[in-house]
Amino acid sequence: MSGDYRECNFDSIVGLTHNYAGLSFGNVASTKHQNEVSFPRQAALQGLEKMKHLMEMGIPQAIIPPLLRPRIDWLRQLGFYGSPEQVIVQAGQEDPLLLAAAYSASSMWAANAATVSPSLDTLDNRVHFSPANLGSSLHRSVEADQITPLFRSIFSDAKLFQVHDPLPPASGLSDEGAANHTRLCANHGDCGIELLVYGRNALDFSAVAPQRFPARQTYQASQAIGRRHLLKADCAFLCQQNPDAIDAGVFHNDVISVGNQNVLLVHQQAFVNQMQVLSELSDRFAVLTGSTLQVVQVPTSLLPLQDAVDSYLFNSQLVSTAEGEMRLVSPVDCQSNENAQATIAWILNEDNPVKGIDYVDLRQSMNNGGGPACLRLRVVLNRQQREATNGRIWFCETLFDQLCQWIETHYPQQIEVQDLKDPKLLDRSFKACLALENIVQLPLVKIFQEAVK
């Protein structure tokens, strides 16, 4: 296969029905901002600005179109009937939270779209994608059947890509995607270790588990991902998330640790039996890569769990620029948290490859519990694989300008949760999807509607 492997960011565009219905139990920010007014136009533009910033850093950047909302077909499965407008009116009267779930724009967090294994790590030398079933959240469980055909449309070359079906929709196989997956390697073009973090073992009822909030990723799901992706020997490394962290609001592992190449930035309370996990992971890394894993472990005394959740420091993107410099791309919220600021200063002063930080304003996404890392899916591709993708998805100045204009034209300025009862939002969403087809050159309406027949 051809070389020139790069880690690419695939960011979802925030959907025009972005709202604060507060549907995500265990997500502290989602609950905190429930029923507040949201600003979809601002949210989408903030996401685009982050993509542009990453592109200007020399990092290959692509987009994932937003899913078509609301899910009228799903509401019909739940007993509402009539025309789409009638379905919305009925649902709005009888169960507004179900209607909000059908309207949810939570697919904006691309880190939950799928788990991805590069061809470097797989026995068949293909890039493997497993769309997440997201079975632990009602409003997110309706994403997988549209993400799967969308990814199969973008990554259609079967010689280079394998887009699997999502895991079966069982609670014991709950899969939250790349938010619980970190790839560690000497360089992006080398074979790496794929760290698969789970919250609970669905078949071991005596195992430690959180008491306040649900553990969303299961051991069985993480195991299955490694098997179906045909990971090479010693490429898969499983460990359990600390239940105390989950109970503090760390609903995904990317809220408590982040990695890039040979660096793992991790909170002291991220994993069960953390000292043993980090020791075994470092030993495995050394054997596989012939180099040293640099673990930057942030002590609880410096950054308590509550501050990690409030600031989303670990939900920063840890990236390597075109010049080879490793930097954090962090939410501006870190600037207003005293302990997060002290932690950043400590990281930058320590002997490690992280040399700088950039702040991005993602307040609209952060209010629903999604920071910079939540908005992107990391996909390591070589030149041949990048050129084999379909659609006009690779970010550039022209695409940025066109998407900004599309958002300004179609997105509402603001949404209150009660606005979801207005059938006019359905028509607005459909017209926006049709207009986006012309920009990204993918048959989006056909992909999304055929997926649910």
Residue 239 domain-assigned? yes
Six-digit token pair at 291? 């180099």
Strand partners, 294: 263
**269 vs 2, which has greater pLDDT?**
269
Other CB atoms within a 10 A radius of the CB of residue 226 amount to: 18
**Domain containing residue 241: CATH number:** 3.75.10.20
3-state secondary structure of 198: strand
In a domain, 99, yes or no: no
Torsion of Cα atoms, 298 then 299 then 301 then 305, to 10°: 70
Report the largest interatomic distance among the alpha carbons of the chain, rounded to a whole angstrom: 64
Confidence at 2, pLDDT banded by 50, 70, 90: very low
Task: Confirm whether 25 is domain-assigned.
Answer: yes
pLDDT digits (tens, 9 = 90+) for 368-415: 989 999 999 999 999 999 999 999 999 999 999 999 999 999 999 999
Measured CA distances, 32 to 21, 23, 199, 333, 367 (Å): 10, 11, 23, 15, 8
Other CB atoms within 10 A of residue 129 CB: 25
345 CB-side CA count, 13 A: 8
CB-side neighbour CA atoms (13 Å) of 297: 14
| Cβ contact 429:404 at 8 Å | no
Kindly state the DSSP code that residue 107 receives in the 8-state scheme.
G
CA–CA distances in Å: residue 115 to residues 57, 228, 376, 397, 433: 25, 11, 12, 28, 26
Q: What is the pLDDT of residues 71-91, one digit of tens each?
A: 999 999 999 999 999 999 999
- pLDDT tens per residue, range 126-171: 999 999 999 989 999 999 999 999 999 999 999 999 999 999 999 9
CA distance 382 to 447: 26
Domain count across the chain: 1
Asked if the structure places residue 396 within a domain, the reply is yes
Whole-prediction pTM value?
0.96
Give the chain's length: 453
Residue 192 lies in a domain: yes
252 has catalytic annotation: yes
Q: Please report the pLDDT score of residue 453 as a whole number.
A: 54
Give whole-number Cα distances, 257 to 153, 210, 280, in Å: 32, 18, 17
Active-site annotation holder among 8, 239, 374, 433: 374
> Does residue 83 form part of some domain?
no
Please name the residue ranges forming H helices in 189-312: 219-228, 243-247, 274-289, 305-311
Q: Distance of CA 330 to CAs 111, 137, 246, 270, 400, Å?
A: 16, 26, 21, 19, 21
Strand partners, 181: 196
User: Which residues constitute the domain of residue 17?
Assistant: 6-69+104-450
Helix, strand, coil percentages for the chain (3-state, nearest 5): 40, 20, 40
Span 168-186, pLDDT tens digits: 999 999 999 999 999 999 9
Residue 152 lies in a domain: yes
Catalytic site includes residue 323? no
> Would residue 251 count as lying in a domain?
yes
**Options 7, 143, 176, 194, the catalytic residue:** 176
